[in-house]
Structure 1
């Protein structure tokens, strides 16, 4: 049974004022952890992570998998949205990942991800880890490790990369919904940095930039050694949300999958 992973991290968004700081570190950190657990890891960082390259790498990751294999996709970068054109979104929005060349190529939408994920062979287990998006209410958790200064949300409003004449008219602020295309009845699992209507935050710890969700996810995995995904999610929730990091990490998957050993 093969184990393969693709870790994407994008700090640099040319032509915008929306550069981030912790996403490349996130990708390296996820990759190092997965390699230590026996995964073959590929990365796409900054200028490597064009829309075409992201689409092609995810396609390759999915196509190579056979029944019994586990594939992991991690994404750290901005999320965004466009107006839904095919009527499959109740909120009138298609959410997407922001590639390095979003200004010319546009986002990689949830519809695109759904089409890619649907090509998997039966029996392939998919774990998707998303550290990007949106804002909500303030709660209190332990954020004492967070450096001084303000964290930055990992959300890129459409007006940053889209021409004014093309701006969508959806009435609400967007969120990044990546669960489309994941098999709820199979071995799929989603770990996301926040609720649908919230931001995930880009910040730093001990002088080193990271996504808050990535930092605490890896910290708890390393220090507390949770036995399954449900325990891991509960451990992360001891840190998030907090007063300065108002994001509520999410887990999606069947009860059976949530209780499976991590990355098996």
Structure 2
């Protein structure tokens, strides 16, 4: 049974970068790159659990179309995390409806709060639901020549290079960050080196020159870098599929979860392929843990 009906894109239709896009060359064929041979095992997550949930339907500007389900996504993820043992006091919400709006500065502050005191055994979760876009790569670290970004409440783009510096690079070894981006063009939004197919096999390295993070970082993205994410009144298909998959079968492996998410999304929208990327090469037969 489909989980949504009428859907809209979470990309940049009529966006800030149409003029830039019109003069850009076609997307490059990424191909395969040599994989590192080490395999990462998940740590025992016996420490603190903290989360940030961000949902932006419309924001302040008019450059992007209004979305319908992003705020709902943020609330649904919060409720899901609480069912997984996260305390309400340790979940920071930023939406159009909260007193503190998800402006770029407030999102940076929230991400910094999430990671600043992280230590061995901590489990952190970051969820973003809203518009995503891309701009031409500025420093040569992108295989496809583009920096992906999220669009904040004040219409400011927050590019992947800066998201990674804020959210990923400060983390110490021995903690885990799980990120979920339900937005267009989000496949490599954290610039993590490893991506996986539905069989759990590593396919390529996503970034050219970034170093491997110390922490275990897992990123679930709603679409590839050149795809849009569908939006509905019931929320984004990616967020719905993530929750549905884990509530139907909580002890799924990474491979099983990726396959389930992709199958659910595919039943509802054709040209959207959720992505799994990681900081270290993982054994995708291991159980996914939050």
TM-score tier after normalising by the smaller chain length: 0.7 to 0.9
| Cα distance in structure 1, aligned partners of 2:80 and 2:108 | 24
What is the CA distance between 1:259 and its match in structure 2? 3.9
**Alpha-carbon distance in 2 for matches of 1:92, 1:260:** 33
Q: Which has the higher helix share?
A: 1
Runs of 4+ in 1 over 3 A off after TM superposition: 181-186, 242-245, 254-264
Equivalent-residue separation in structure 2 for 1:225 and 1:184 (angstroms) = 27
2:172 to 121, 141, 151: 121
Gaps of 5+ in 2: 1-46, 194-211
Q: Does 1:236 align with 2:261?
A: yes
Shift of 1:217: 1.6
Task: Give the structure 1 partner of residue 8 of structure 2.
Answer: none
SS of corresponding position for 1:246: coil
**Closer/same/farther in 2, CA of residues 259 and 184 from structure 1, 3 Å limit:** farther
Who is 2:73 aligned against?
A: 26
Q: Where does residue 252 of structure 1 map in the other structure?
A: 277
Shift of residue 202, structure 1, vs aligned partner? 0.2
Aligned to 1:217, the other structure's residue is in SS state helix
What is the alpha-carbon distance in structure 1 between the residues aligned to residue 73 and residue 270 of structure 2? Answer: 17
Q: How many residues align?
A: 217
Tell me the equivalent position of 1:110: 160
Give TM-score, length-normalised by structure 2: 0.68
1:67-82 equivalences in 2 (<5 Å): 67-82=120-135
Q: Does structure 2 conserve the Cα–Cα contact (< 8 Å) formed by 1:240 and 1:246?
A: no
Contact 2:262 2:274 in 1 (8 A): yes
TM-score by length of 1: 0.75
**Equivalent residue number for residue 262 of structure 1:** 288
**Conserved? CA contact 1:49–1:99, under 8 Å:** yes
Please list the CA deviations of residues 33-65 of structure 1 after superposition, one character each: whole Å capped at 9, or x if unmatched: 111212231111026100000011101111121
Of 92, 102, 109 in structure 2, the residue corresponding to residue 49 of structure 1 is: 102
- Where does the alignment leave 5 or more consecutive residues of structure 1 unmatched? 135-174
Q: Deviations over 1:100-139 (max 9, x none)?
A: 001xxx21111111211111122121111111104xxxxx
